[in-house]
Amino acid sequence: AQTVTQSQPEMSVQEAETVTLSCTYDTSENNYYLFWYKQPPSRQMILVIRQEAYKQQNATENRFSVNFQKAAKSFSLKISDSQLGDTAMYFCAFGSYNTDKLIFGTGTRLQVFP
Amino acid sequence: NAGVMQNPRHLVRRRGQEARLRCSPMKGHSHVYWYRQLPEEGLKFMVYLQKENIIDESGMPKERFSAEFPKEGPSILRIQQVVRGDSAAYFCASSPSGQGAAGYTFGSGTRLTVV
C-alpha cells in the first residue's frame, strides 16, 4: 500500500524569503503522479503543482517548484519569494495510474509573516 | 464554467439523525470522488463513482454510509444515524473520463458537525 509522509507539522517563513516543504512516499509502482495541494482557511483544496513520475524534469509553476527524487521517493516543494497569501496548509499527495484515488499526507501548516 | 459545487457548506445534525451531502461535478466530468478530512488530518478517500455505478468503495465505513451518483442530479453521500465521530469536512472531487487523479477538481467541502 502506498503511504505519504510529511514530517514537518508547521513551518514559518518571512515574506519574500524561500521555504522548502518536505514529503516522502512509499510505493512499489513505477508510474504515478505526485501533487502538492494548498488548503487556505477557506478550506478550498487548490492544486499547486503536479509531477508525473516518468518525467525527470522537475515541475515548476511560477514561484513554486519541486525537487523530485524518484529513487529516494522524495518530493519536496520550494516556494520562492513567499507572500502573505501563501499562508495555508500544504498537502502532498500520491496518485496511482492504476486507481483514481489520491493518498494524502498529514499536511504542513505554513505561516508567512511580514 | 462553475466548478464542483457542494452543498450545504455547513451542516449541523444531532446524534442519530441523517446527513445528506450533495456534490454536482464540473460540466463534462463523469467521475466523482468523495473524501473525508478529520480535524488536523489529511483527506482520506471514501468512494469513487461514475453515473449509476460505484467503482471503488474501499474507503467507506461498512455501516451507516452510502453514496450514489444517479443518472440525473448530483452525487449524494448519505450518513445514517450520525455519531460525534462523523464530524469532519467532506470533500467531493470530479474528473473527466480518462484522467483519473490527474484531472481532479475539488469542491469547497461540507463541514458536518454532529452535536
pLDDT tens, residue by residue, B51-73: 999 999 999 999 999 999 999 99
In whole angstroms, give the CA distance from residue B70 to residue B53. 8
Min distance B48 CA to chain A CA atoms (Å): 8
**Model confidence at B15: pLDDT above 70:** yes
For range A101-106, the mean pLDDT: 94
Q: Is the pLDDT of residue B39 over 60?
A: yes
- B111 lies within 8 A of chain A by CB: yes
Average pLDDT over residues A19-41: 95
Predicted pLDDT of residue B53: 94
Say how many C-beta atoms besides its own lie within 10 A of residue B44's C-beta: 15
- What was the pLDDT predicted at B99? 81
Distance from CA of A68 to the nearest CA of B (A): 17
* Distance of alpha carbon A36 from alpha carbon A103, whole angstroms: 11
Q: What is the mean pLDDT of chain B?
A: 94
| Contact (Cβ atoms closer than 8 angstroms) between residue B98 and residue B84 | no
